[in-house]
Amino acid sequence: MEIWAKRLGEQYQTLEEHTDWVIEEALKQIDEYTICKISKLTEWDKDKIKDLIFFCAYFHDIGKATKEFQKTIENDSRSYHSMYSASVLESIEEFEYKEKDIYINLLMVISLTHHTLMPYTANSSEFIFLEDKAKDFFEGYKRKYELYMQKTCKYDFKFTTSENIKLGIEYIEEDLKCINGKDKLRILYTYVSGILNIADWLASARFAKNVTNIVFNALPSKETFMQKLSFDKLRNFQDSLSECTKSVLVEIPTGEGKTEGSLLWAINNLKNKNTKIIYTLPTQTTSNKLYERIQKFFGKEACGLIHSAAKVYLEKEYEKDNGRIDENFRSDFLFSKSFNKPVTVSTIDSLLKYFINIGRFNIAIKNFFNSIIIIDEVHSYDFKLMGFLKRFLELCNKDEIKVCLMSASIPNKIKLLLGIESYQAIYQNDLFSKKANQITKKDCAMDDDFDLIAEKIHPNKNILIIRNTVRSAIKTYERLRKNLNTKKFEIILYHAAFKKIDKNQKEKLIFEKLEKSKTDKPLILVATQIVEISLDIDFDILFTDNAPIDALIQRFGRVNRKKSLDKKGEIFIYKYDKAFPYKNTYILELTFETIKDGYFELSEYVKWLNIVYDRLFEDDISIKNSISGMFDDAYEKHDKNLKKLDAIKQSEDNYDLRDIDIPREDFLLYDDFISETIDPKNYYEYTISLSSYYADKYLYVPQEKLKYRILKLKYSFENGIELPAEDKDYIW
């Protein structure tokens, strides 16, 4: 009689076949650099860690050699084989973790929890081993050890089974709680169980073998990377990054090649083919765009994308290339969402949720230990998210994970807040000595100065207009269309209150019209602050509502991005007396007061930035207290969560990483719900992210239960959502 481990379609896999596959995959996950780091962090001998990995792989499924499991494989019912394994492993004491009064059998705990945290139920302790078969398999460990580890096995284990498994489980519950607060123990548990989990996934055929690119096929080098660049000579800061071996803070103006520089830094810090590069950005749109770019550097199979809507985006890309979604896509997506790909682009939110806020993502955290991480647009985050980020950076420093932080402009006060003032600085003075735009402050609201906009329309000038709210952007757009000769220019409205599918179309249209404007009519783009980070656009003239200084500097970067002396940009900043959508008017007042009229070097923008933040932190106690409260709460949440979850249990994804007073959700519009041409599986693409406030007035409740709530609101591709005038302005 064979001992079956798994049913794969119409065929069965024996326990020995499955175990061999798990061992092979687990040993592939071990690289010398990472295991030496884990050894140093945990003070466990690296060879002992390797042995622990081997024996976890060998023994984790021995519970399948029971009559109860063999019955479940036939009828596909629930099994408790990991718990059955614990009854055999309880007597193996060679892999106990000992610290003061703590004695934890890691081999047993990792094997027991390799599927779920605790597989115990009232009836699951009633099982009988297939004694001869189970014993024969157990006693094969020396032969397998010598085969795979290429050395003599020094261990002598005895096959015995515990009769009091329920009591043993209670002890293991206490063992798991001990992991809380014991950082060395948690690192060891997470690293080894992460390797076991990914090996078991691979061996269980959860992935199609042809799409699981877990390591670099060939280690990229500076030379091979530069062959794929659109320029031949590196800037000084890029050259410095390509030779840097430390965590760095890169402060370089927009449009000067920070992305390429950071990837050169990452390539220089690759330790081996197992090293992971993780590149984070603030938004899904910017993440999607970068994902498209990096594929030309590293190859499509080596690149992954992670954010809350990544699956929808990747499905579209896959359908373009392959015609339909199949098992290969589903396999690749499942594989890549745990940061298994050699290069992963992610939103900052997804990175922090995996590695800080949600427990028991052991595969992702195992990958974290051999990652190098790039965090772009650091200045764009609110103080709450920065609290999470500071704790994350501390963990990176403690676990010897190198980080490249990047920003066009980050205030000194924020550097101190994040604790990054001591990072090696990468800076290039001559890039900040460039001039880009003539700045003019207007002591009035934009609505009172439309004649100037009309006056500035020119056959060779593209105009960007940024309003602070969706309502004011729509008003501006409609007024321009009504009062100006639109035959002389193209005009597009772009803001947050469009369906996701239409946002994509709008973005494509913007780039298409910008390209055509070189030989055809100029473009006027009316937008909200959605364009500050999400779009890589370049205009000649900017009209903007006043905004916080860091947001304004981002807006400045959308004009004359190449800093051409022959094409000096023009920027007009208008007074803005309301606080919404910002927290208060004081930072707006400070910004407007600090910025000067004139044609300045980019270094002057940095001076303004620090003047505003220095004043903000010194002058306004209520703001300082508010910042401190948000920042500290977020900073402390990681450790509180670990304590609450005994360090390894999985929590719900219920973390609000950003400081958002007005809750938002994805709504489906009524017209799309009743449409016969829209497949319900594609509803996500037709949703709009809006304040939950609108559900109080416009909610439609269908008979069937849906994933999304439905709103009865008017909508058009041209304007987006149409809100009655009496509604509060809750969208921006």
Q: 573-598 pLDDT, tens per residue?
A: 999 988 888 877 888 999 999 999 99
| Domain-located, residue 644 | no
Please report, for the domain that includes residue 162, its CATH number.
Answer: 1.10.3210.30
Separation between Cα atoms, residue 546 and residue 577, nearest integer Å: 9
- How far CA 671 is from CA of 419, 691, 701, 705, 715, in Å, comes to 50, 19, 13, 17, 9
Separation between Cα atoms, residue 38 and residue 43, nearest integer Å: 8
User: Of 182 and 521, which is predicted with more confidence?
Assistant: 521
pLDDT at 527 over 60: yes
Residue matched to tokens 């498994």: 165
pLDDT at 122 over 50: no
* Per-residue pLDDT, 444: 95
* Per-residue pLDDT, 262: 97
Separation between Cα atoms, residue 109 and residue 188, nearest integer Å: 12
pLDDT at 488 over 80: yes
Mark whether 153 and 266 lie in a shared domain: no
Looking at the DSSP bridge assignments, the partners of residue 668 are 710
Q: Which residue, of 598, 619, 640, is where some domain finishes?
A: 619
Kind and range of the H or E run holding 429: helix 429-432
Mapped onto helix, strand or coil, the DSSP state of residue 636 is helix
Mean pLDDT of 385-409: 92
Q: Give the model confidence (pLDDT) of 403-437 as tens digits.
A: 999 998 899 999 999 999 889 999 999 999 999 99
| Domain-located, residue 192 | yes
Separation between Cα atoms, residue 610 and residue 720, nearest integer Å: 37
pLDDT classification of 552: cutoffs 50, 70, 90: very high
Separation between Cα atoms, residue 30 and residue 81, nearest integer Å: 26
Mark whether 352 and 437 lie in a shared domain: no
Q: Are the C-beta atoms of residues 165 and 635 closer than 8 Å to each other?
A: no
Q: What percent of the chain has pLDDT over 90?
A: 52
Mark whether 438 and 562 lie in a shared domain: yes
* Per-residue pLDDT, 212: 61
Mark whether 440 and 418 lie in a shared domain: no
Q: Give the model confidence (pLDDT) of 300-328 as tens digits.
A: 989 999 998 888 888 888 888 888 888 78
Mark whether 75 and 133 lie in a shared domain: yes
Q: Give the model confidence (pLDDT) of 51-77 as tens digits.
A: 999 999 999 988 888 888 888 777 767
Please report, for the domain that includes residue 281, its CATH number.
Answer: 3.40.50.300
Mapped onto helix, strand or coil, the DSSP state of residue 572 is strand
Q: Give the model confidence (pLDDT) of 254-296 as tens digits.
A: 889 999 999 999 999 999 999 999 999 998 889 999 999 999 9
| Domain-located, residue 176 | yes
Mapped onto helix, strand or coil, the DSSP state of residue 721 is strand
Separation between Cα atoms, residue 214 and residue 275, nearest integer Å: 10
| Domain-located, residue 73 | yes
| Domain-located, residue 650 | no
Among the listed ranges 27-41, 209-223, 323-337, 467-481, which one has the minimum average pLDDT value? 209-223
Mean pLDDT of 231-239: 92
Mean pLDDT of 605-610: 95
Mark whether 141 and 18 lie in a shared domain: yes
Mean pLDDT of 479-490: 87
Mark whether 307 and 357 lie in a shared domain: yes
Mapped onto helix, strand or coil, the DSSP state of residue 426 is strand
Q: Which residue, of 593, 619, 645, is where some domain finishes?
A: 619
| Domain-located, residue 553 | yes
Q: Which residue, of 206, 233, 254, is where some domain finishes?
A: 206
pLDDT at 686 over 60: yes
Mapped onto helix, strand or coil, the DSSP state of residue 180 is coil
Q: Give the model confidence (pLDDT) of 615-672 as tens digits.
A: 988 876 666 676 777 888 888 877 777 666 554 555 555 556 766 666 788 999 999 9
Separation between Cα atoms, residue 717 and residue 498, nearest integer Å: 8
Which amino acid makes up residue 689?
Answer: S
Mark whether 410 and 450 lie in a shared domain: no
For residue 69, count other CB atoms closer than 10 A to its CB. 23
Mark whether 90 and 192 lie in a shared domain: yes
For residue 147, count other CB atoms closer than 10 A to its CB. 12
Question: Alpha helix (H) ranges present in 269-407?
Answer: 284-298, 310-322, 327-336, 348-352, 362-368, 383-398
Separation between Cα atoms, residue 282 and residue 375, nearest integer Å: 9
* Per-residue pLDDT, 86: 80
| Domain-located, residue 657 | no
Separation between Cα atoms, residue 329 and residue 319, nearest integer Å: 9
Residue matched to tokens 């009524």: 670
Collect all residues with Cβ–Cβ distance below 8 Å to 228 and sequence separation of at least 6. 296, 297
Mark whether 246 and 155 lie in a shared domain: no
Helix axis angle, 46-59 to 15-28, nearest 10° = 150
Collect all residues with Cβ–Cβ distance below 8 Å to 266 and sequence separation of at least 6. 277, 279, 372, 374, 404
* Per-residue pLDDT, 616: 86
Mark whether 423 and 442 lie in a shared domain: no
* Per-residue pLDDT, 576: 92
Q: What percent of the chain has pLDDT over 70?
A: 88
Collect all residues with Cβ–Cβ distance below 8 Å to 44 and sequence separation of at least 6. 38, 188
DSSP 222: H
Please give the tally of structural domains in the chain. Answer: 4
Mark whether 607 and 498 lie in a shared domain: yes
Separation between Cα atoms, residue 551 and residue 528, nearest integer Å: 11
pLDDT at 353 over 50: yes
Q: Which two tokens stand for residue 200?
A: 């078991």
Among the listed ranges 191-200, 228-237, 472-481, 623-632, which one has the minimum average pLDDT value? 623-632
Domain range enclosing 383: 222-428
| Domain-located, residue 647 | no
Q: Which two tokens stand for residue 504?
A: 């994509």
pLDDT classification of 383: cutoffs 50, 70, 90: confident
Q: Which long-range contacts (CB under 8 A, 24 or more apart) does 67-73 make?
A: 67/127, 67/128, 67/129, 67/130, 68/126, 68/127, 68/128, 69/127, 70/3, 70/4, 70/130, 73/4, 73/5, 73/6, 73/7, 73/12
Residue matched to tokens 């003239």: 541
